Structures are given as C-alpha cells and as structure tokens.
C-alpha cells in the first residue's frame, strides 16, 4: 500500500487516529487542536465549516503545525457550511493555498468543482482525500464496492467511505467491505459507519485493514462517535501489534 505523508506523519503503516476539530473561530480551532494533541490524536480533521471568512481559514492553517486534513462540509454531507457550493470550494482552495497539509473533498461534489480542489491540491503537492459518503443509510455491498472503484479512478492519495448504519446487519456489511477494500485499494483508506450501530466500525475497521479512523476529542454528543482514548484502548486490547 502507498505511504502518504501529512507533514511528519506517515499514513499506511500503523492505524492513524484522526480527531475532528470544529469551531466558530480560529482561536477555537486552535484550542481544539491543542486538545486533540493532548488526547493522543495522530492527526486532526480541521472542519472549517463555521469559520467566518477566508481570512479566518488562512489564520487557522498558518498556525496549525500538527498533521491535518482540511474539510468543509455542507449540510448534505453532515456539515454546517451555509454558503454556496462555489463558496465552499473556494474555501477549500484557500486552505490549500494557505499551506494545508491535506484536503478532503466529497465524491458527490459536482465533478467540475471536485476537480478544482483535486487540481489545486496536486499543484501544491499535498495529499487529497476523496470521500464516498451516504449520511442516510448503508447502501448494498455491491453499490459500495462500485463506489470505491469510482473513487479510485480519481487517483486520490487517501480514500474514505462513510455511511449511516441503522442495524447491526449494516455494520456487518461495512466490515465486509473493509476486507474487500484492503484488496481493491492501493492507497490508505478509512471505512466508518455513523450512528450507535456503527460505533464498533471505527476500531474494528482498523483491525481488519483500514489505515485510519475518525474520533472525537472528548465525550461526544454524536451517537456512535468514540473518543481518541476509547479508540486507542480498544485497538490495544484487540490487536497485540498495535500500541
């Protein structure tokens, strides 16, 4: 599997714990990054959805030295950015130009806008993550595999599959997809299921071959979202090869 670097962090060897940071101001984002580092996260997902403007985005990026991936999510992708799609893409490109270590764009973004983010990341020599997401349900296994094939054709550096689990049967579908993704993909990937039924997917996917997973910094109000500490402890218990 390809090894991807975010600053001094290598993704593609031992499982990486990514903590999500979301705040209304640059100072709030920086506080969240400090908390993520103290919690033991390897990397942070900088969610710039709520920041006031481009200058706040740039100010945040300039000051974050911890390995990070920048994302900006509209409500349809589970986020809170209230601007237009063009404004959302402009915010991501501004983050790249400000020195982001990596950038995240959803597969279901309009293709020409998605391509702008990917092209910007490549022109600046930073990794791009493409996510295949369904915030409402877990599609059938064959649909998910086709989705991963479609994402892989874009040649991203990192891939994420995120769906909502509404039963333990959905959880089993997701874990089965992890095993197939390990054979299908040649880049680091994450597979997570949202919601209470999906909580076990976050550490178990890493045991089965996923390269990274997403965690909360502290106790989260989001159902099924484990903390960095909880995820690390579960991985230590389940895998003697992880520390």
Tell whether the model's pLDDT for residue 164 goes beyond 80: yes
Mean pLDDT lowest for which of 94-103, 137-146, 161-170, 234-243?
234-243
Overall pTM > 0.75? yes
Give exposure, 105-137, as e/b (b: 16+ Cβ within 10 Å).
bbbebeeebbebbbebbeeeebbbbbbbbbeee
Tell whether the model's pLDDT for residue 21 goes beyond 90: yes
Residues 6+ apart with CB under 8 A from 73: 47, 49, 79, 80, 81, 106
Q: Is residue 1 part of a domain?
A: no
Q: What pLDDT does 240 receive?
A: 67
Q: Is residue 8 part of a domain?
A: no
Tell whether the model's pLDDT for residue 6 goes beyond 80: yes
Q: How far is CA 197 from the centre of its chain?
A: 19
Tell whether the model's pLDDT for residue 243 goes beyond 70: no
Q: Is residue 45 part of a domain?
A: yes
Q: Give the number of other Cβ atoms within 10 Å of residue 197's Cβ.
A: 20
Q: Which residues pair with 212 in a beta bridge?
A: 16
Q: Give the number of other Cβ atoms within 10 Å of residue 76's Cβ.
A: 12
Q: What pLDDT does 218 receive?
A: 84
pLDDT band at 224 (very low <50, low <70, confident <90, very high): confident
Entry field: residues in the chain: 243
Q: Is residue 34 part of a domain?
A: yes
Q: Is residue 5 part of a domain?
A: no
Tell whether the model's pLDDT for residue 219 goes beyond 80: no
pLDDT band at 221 (very low <50, low <70, confident <90, very high): low
Q: Is residue 115 part of a domain?
A: yes
Measured distance CA(243)–CA(239) in Å, rounded: 8
Q: What is the DSSP letter of 159?
A: E
pLDDT band at 223 (very low <50, low <70, confident <90, very high): low
Q: Is residue 243 part of a domain?
A: no
Tell whether the model's pLDDT for residue 242 goes beyond 60: no
Q: How far is CA 88 from the centre of its chain?
A: 17
Tell whether the model's pLDDT for residue 87 goes beyond 90: yes
Nearest to 42 by CA among 73, 71, 7, 70: 7
Measured distance CA(190)–CA(181) in Å, rounded: 9
Measured distance CA(189)–CA(162) in Å, rounded: 11
| Tally of domains in the chain | 1
- Tell me the residue range of the domain where 100 lies: 14-238
Average pLDDT over residues 42-49: 97
Domain of 68: which CATH number? 3.20.20.70
Q: Which residues pair with 10 in a beta bridge?
A: 5
Q: What pLDDT does 79 receive?
A: 92
Alpha helices, DSSP H, located in the chain: 26-39, 54-63, 85-97, 111-123, 141-152, 168-184, 201-208, 228-238
Tell whether the model's pLDDT for residue 124 goes beyond 80: yes
pLDDT band at 222 (very low <50, low <70, confident <90, very high): low
Average pLDDT over residues 218-223: 68
Q: Is residue 55 part of a domain?
A: yes
């Amino acid at each position: 599997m390809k090894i991807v670097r975010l600053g001094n962090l290598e993704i593609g060897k031992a499982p990486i714990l990514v903590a999500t940071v979301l705040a209304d101001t640059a100072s709030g984002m920086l506080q969240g990054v400090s908390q993520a580092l103290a919690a033991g996260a390897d990397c942070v997902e900088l969610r710039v959805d709520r920041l006031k403007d481009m200058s706040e985005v740039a100010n945040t990026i300039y000051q974050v030295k911890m390995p990070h991936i920048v994302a900006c999510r509209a409500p349809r992708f589970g986020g809170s950015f209230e601007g237009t799609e063009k404004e959302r893409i402009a915010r991501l490109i501004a983050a790249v130009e400000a020195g982001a270590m990596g950038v995240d764009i959803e597969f279901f973004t309009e293709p020409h806008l998605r391509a702008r983010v990917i092209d910007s990341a490549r022109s600046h020599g930073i990794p791009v993550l493409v996510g295949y997401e369904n915030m409402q349900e877990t599609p059938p296994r064959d649909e998910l595999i086709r989705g991963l094939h479609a994402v892989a054709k874009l040649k991203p550096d990192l891939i994420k599959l995120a769906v909502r689990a509404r039963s333990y049967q959905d959880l089993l579908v997701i874990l089965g997809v992890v095993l197939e993704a390990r054979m299908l993909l040649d880049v680091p990937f994450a597979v997570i299921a949202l919601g209470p039924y999906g909580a076990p997917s976050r550490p178990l996917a890493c045991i089965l071959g996923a390269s990274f997973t997403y965690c909360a910094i502290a106790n989260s109000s989001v159902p099924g979202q484990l903390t960095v500490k909880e995820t690390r402890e579960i991985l230590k218990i389940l895998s003697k090869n992880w520390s």
